[in-house]
Amino acid sequence: MLRRLFIAALLVALLPLAALAGPKIERVVGASGVEAWLVREPKIPMIALQAVWRGGSASDPAGLEGRAELAAALLDEGAGDLAAEEFQAALRADAISLGAGVDRDYVTLNLRTLSERRDRAFALLAQMLTQPRFDAEPMARIKSQLLVAAQRAQVSPGSIANNRFMANAFPGHPYGRPAQASAESLERLGRDDAAAFIGGVLARRNLVIGVVGDITPEELKRLLDLSFGKLPLEPKLTLPQVAVPQVAPKPIVIPYANPQSIVLFGGRGLLRDDPDYYAATVLNYVLGGGGFNSRLTEEIREKRGLVYSVSTGMQPMPAAGLFAGSLSTRNDQVGQALALVREQLQAVARDGISETELANAKAYLTGSFPLRLSSNAAIAGMLSAMQLANLGMDYIDRYPDYINAVTAADIRRVAERLFASGDLLVVVVGEPVGLGG
C-alpha cells in the first residue's frame, strides 16, 4: 500500500497543469433514442465503451440471490446462432474484449475493440444483448463456479463479516440480503430466471453509455442503434427505496477460530447528491481514506502498533449513504483498537481537523484525480459514472473547485453530523478480547 501511494504521489507531482483540463465531451443520440457521451481520440485506433444499467443484485428476489450475478456471467456465453465457444472464438478472432459484470446496484458492460473491427464488435454486442442463449452447458459451468465461490464465502472471515454487517445495517431492505449466490439459491436458479433479469433490466431508458476512441459522432450513432436500439424501451424492475443504515448499541461478535479478528464498523453516510458530499470526501481522506497519511493509521498502527491495517470509506450508494471502515488485529487487541477508532471519530466531530490536514487532503485529492483518466477505458467509465450521478459534462473541470471550496468549518459540521452521537454498527469475526459495550 505504501509503495502504491508513493508512486501515485510521484505521478501526480509530475503531471503538467494542462493534464488537469477535462476532455471535450460530445453528446451523441441515435435514431433509437440511445444516448452516449463521447470523447474522440483519433490518435489511437481503438474504441472503449462502457454501458451501465441501473438495477443489480439488490433487485434479486428473496431466495433467488445470485440471479443477477448468474445472468451477467452468461451474457457472453453464446448469443444468436453462436454457441458459447463459437462466440468466444469470434471475439478472439478480432481481438475484441467484451463482457459484463454486476454489483448491488448496476449491470456494467465493457467493450474494447480496434477501430477497424468496430462493425464486428458492435454486431456481436447486439447479439449478446438481444439474443442471449443461456444454454445448458454454460449454465451448469457458471453455476458450478458460483457454488465454489459461495462455499469459500461461507468460511471467509471477510465475507462473513461483510454479509452480517450489511444484514444488520439494512434489515428488511434489499441491501441487507447477500449480493452473491448461495448453494440453496443456485439450486433454484435456471434459464428463466436469468432471462427474466436480463429482460427486465437491460432497457434503453435504464441505460447510460460512455465511449472513448477513434470514432466520429455520426458513426457512433449508427453503432448505438445497431447494438442497443432493439432493447426494450422501459425496464421492468423495482429499485430499492432510500434507507438509513442502522447502528447497534453493542458489537456483534461472530466466533471464528483464528489468531486475529476482522472488524467492520460504520454507520450513516451521505448520498451522492448531498450538499456536504465533497466535505465528507475530504473528511474521509483525513480520517481513514488516506492510507498512511490518515489519522487512524497514524494513531492506531504507527504510534501503537495495534492493527495490521485500518481504513474508512464513504459509500454513496443510490439508495443509502454509508460510512464504513475496517481493521484487522490480534484478538487481544480488538478492544483497544476499537476504542481508539471511537476516540478519533469523536475528536474530529468535536474539534474538526487542522489547516495542515485540510491542505494536504485537498492537494492529494485534486492532484490524484487525473490518474482516474489514465486510459480510454477509465475515461469511458468516468463518463458513465458522471451520467449516473447527474454531474454534468463539465464535472471533470469543476472537481478541483468542489474540493478546494471545502473549509475547516465544513469538515467540522459534517463530522458532527455523522459522528457526534458516537453510534456505530460494529461486526467482529474472530475471538476478540476487551470489547466492552
Boundary of a domain, candidates 179, 195, 228: 228
- Are 280 and 425 found together in one domain? yes
Residues 88 and 47 in one domain: yes
The set of residues, in sequence order, having a beta carbon less than 8 Å from that of 365 and lying 6+ positions away, is 281, 282, 285, 403
pTM: 0.91
Interval 336-370: pLDDT, tens:
999 999 999 999 999 999 999 999 999 999 999 99
Structural domain includes residue 240: no
The residue segments making up the domain with residue 376 are: 252-430
Q: Quote the number of domains for the chain.
A: 2
Identify whether residues 135 and 222 lie together within a single domain. Answer: yes
* Mean pLDDT of all residues in 190-205: 96
Q: How far is CA 427 from CA 172, 250, 284, 376, in A?
A: 18, 9, 20, 39
The span from the CA of 33 to the CA of 5, in Å, is: 43
- Same-domain check for residues 304 and 345: yes
Burial class (CB in 10 A: 0-12, 13-18, 19+), 271: middle
My answer on whether 326 and 393 are in the same domain is yes
> Same structural domain for residues 204 and 315?
no
Task: Evaluate whether 139 touches 192 at the Cβ level (below 8 Å).
Answer: no
Rounded to 5°, the CA angle 242-244-249 comes to 160
**Does residue 159 sit in the same domain as residue 262?**
no
Do the strands 309-317 and 320-330 form a parallel or antiparallel pair, or are they unpaired?
Answer: antiparallel
**CATH code of the domain in which 298 resides:** 3.30.830.10
What spatial distance separates the first Cα and last Cα of the chain, rounded to whole Å? Answer: 32
DSSP string, 137-169: HHHHHHHHHHHHHHHHHHH-HHHHHHHHHHHHH
Note whether 256 and 221 are same-domain residues: no
Instruction: Please check whether residues 362 and 419 belong to one and the same domain.
Output: yes
* Helices and strands of the chain, counted as H and E runs: 16, 11
Q: Could you tell me which residues come within 8 angstroms of residue 49 by beta carbon, excluding any fewer than 6 positions away?
A: 36, 109, 110, 111, 112, 209, 210, 211, 380
Average pLDDT, the chain: 93
- 133 with 215, same domain: the answer is yes
Give the pLDDT score at 19.
41
Structural domain contains residue 369:
yes
Q: Which pLDDT value is given to residue 179?
A: 85
Are 295 and 344 spatial neighbours (Cβ–Cβ below 8 Å)?
Answer: yes
Judge whether 234 lies within some domain: no
More confident residue, 431 or 22: 431
Average pLDDT over residues 417-437: 91
For residue 289, is pLDDT > 90? yes
Secondary structure of residue 82 in the 3-state scheme:
strand
Q: Is pLDDT above 90 for 17?
A: no
Neighbours of 178 (CB within 10 A): 18
- pLDDT, position 241: 95
pLDDT reported for residue 436: 64
Q: Indicate if the pLDDT at residue 10 is higher than 60.
A: no
Domain boundary among 193, 228, 263: 228
Given 161, 195, 228, which residue is the final one in a domain? 228
Q: Are residues 122 and 268 in the same domain?
A: no
- What CA–CA distances, in Å, run from 382 to 63, 209, 390? 34, 10, 12
**What pLDDT, on the 0 to 100 scale, is given for residue 434?**
80
pLDDT of 159 higher than 80: yes
pLDDT tens figures, 60-79: 999 999 999 999 999 999 99
Would you say residue 368 lies in a domain? Answer: yes
Entry field: residues in the chain = 437
Residue 403 φ/ψ, nearest 5 degrees: -70, -45
pLDDT of residue 21: 61
Same domain, 279 and 392: yes
**Does residue 247 lie in a domain region?**
no
Whether residue 29 is contained in a domain is answered as yes
**Per mean pLDDT, which range of 18-27, 38-47, 293-302 is the poorest?**
18-27
Asked whether residue 404 is domain-assigned, the answer is yes
Identify whether 50 is part of a domain.
Answer: yes
